[in-house]
Structure 1
Amino acid sequence: MSTPVDPAVTALARRWRVELDTGTAGTPSWDLCPGITSLTPAAEPNIEDSSDYDSDGWAGNTKTGQSWELSMTINRKINDQAKTYNAVHEALRLAAYSYGSASRVHVRYYDRNGLPEAYEGYAIVTWAPSGGEYTALDQVEVTLTGDGPLLPIANPKAEEAPGGGS
């Protein structure tokens, strides 16, 4: 028997957690991307018209491809004593200004509360500082454009107690 869904509880947009693999090939090291203020995942199919005379006038469609993207706004985190940026933010920035394999990052994102939605893939980084008024925070628009499949994975937080996400 399935667990009933309480219609009064709505998932929050801030449920997503994004991590970047800062390890080496074969030995992943997943590090949090902190400071996310907005996140929009997208996985758009390419659909082609496959209508024919045999369908009695009904349109036919065939999925022929798929692309994915993760757009996020981040508050830039710094260590003002050591004069360094957050290591994950720096890895994203440096990938955005690189070519070849250095421009590609390994990323995963998942529901921080342990719900089953979780994905992993490789992406090319676009890095665009937001600028702003003298009172504004240092924010950056980061777009991760999929380079290959976005794979559903087991949620790394699925085994933790409810509310245990960080």
Structure 2
Amino acid sequence: MTSPTPILQPDRTQSRDVIQAGKWAVQINTGTYAAPTWVFIYRITNFNPKTDIKTEDATDINDDGWASEVGVGGAATIDIEGLVAGTFDEDGEFTQDPGQAALIAAGEDFGNEVDIRYWRRDGVPTAKRVKGIPKVTLDGGKPGTTQKFSGSIVVNGKPEDITKPAPVTP
């Protein structure tokens, strides 16, 4: 009689570290692409950049009925939500955060494009710059709740890898 083959077990001491979600920094360019003026968008509560690889059926008679897909293109979007924030002056007039105001204003008319850069604020190397069409608006809301904004940015072209911006020291 032969002994059974032992079942291979994963090394549970490996790959145990995890990272927190939501560690993003996001800026919008209020200048030109060639001479950018980067402004942070504050009070973001959900930031979700995602890619969607487009595929096409490549199944042929040799696949024995099993589907076969091939990547033919890609698309990217960024879902974004936040709390409307800013400052009140001594007369009670509210001035919205400039980054939020630029993003929401761009979403109020067709044909507007935004230049956004974002990066992880931890050791994860993700850092991108994108141009895209904002579909971001103020949410309706009701009394007794905070005013929110939400929507998405439909990215035009492939997101560009960038170097994480260096912190500014006073």
- The TM-score with structure 2 as length reference comes to 0.79
**Which structure 2 segments of 5+ residues have no match?**
1-12
Structure 1, 110-119 or 135-144: larger mean CA deviation: 110-119
Identify if the C-alpha distance between structure 1 residues 124 and 63 changes in structure 2 by more than 3 Å, giving closer, same or farther.
Answer: same
* Secondary structure in 2 matching 1:13: coil
Equivalences for 1:1-166 in 2 at 5 Å? Answer: 7=16, 9-55=17-63, 58-81=66-89, 83-100=94-111, 103-156=112-165
Identify if the C-alpha distance between structure 1 residues 70 and 5 changes in structure 2 by more than 3 Å, giving closer, same or farther.
Answer: farther
1:6-64 CA-to-partner distances (Å, cap 9, x unmatched) read 51x32111211111111223111222110011122211011111122345655332111
Paired residue type of 2:113: R
CA distance in 2, matches of 1:59, 1:132: 46
CA distance in 2, matches of 1:131, 1:138: 8
In our comparison, the structure showing a higher alpha carbon Rg is: 2
1:138-164 CA-to-partner distances (Å, cap 9, x unmatched) read 11113111122212222335xx7xxxx
Identify if the C-alpha distance between structure 1 residues 126 and 77 changes in structure 2 by more than 3 Å, giving closer, same or farther.
Answer: same
Q: CA-atom RMSD, angstroms? A: 2.3
Question: In the TM superposition, what is the alpha-carbon distance from 1:98 to its structure 2 partner?
Answer: 2.3
| Bigger fraction of residues in helix | 1
CA contact (8 A) 1:74 1:142 kept: no
1:65-85 CA-to-partner distances (Å, cap 9, x unmatched) read 111111111111122115321
Structure 1, 27-36 or 74-83: larger mean CA deviation: 74-83
**Which structure 1 segments of 5+ residues have no match?**
161-166
- Number of matched pairs: 153
- Percent identical pairs in the alignment equals 24
CA contact (8 A) 1:120 1:152 kept: yes
CA distance in 1, matches of 2:158, 2:32: 20
Paired residue type of 1:99: F
Paired residue type of 2:76: W
Paired residue type of 1:119: K
CA contact (8 A) 2:107 2:137 kept: no
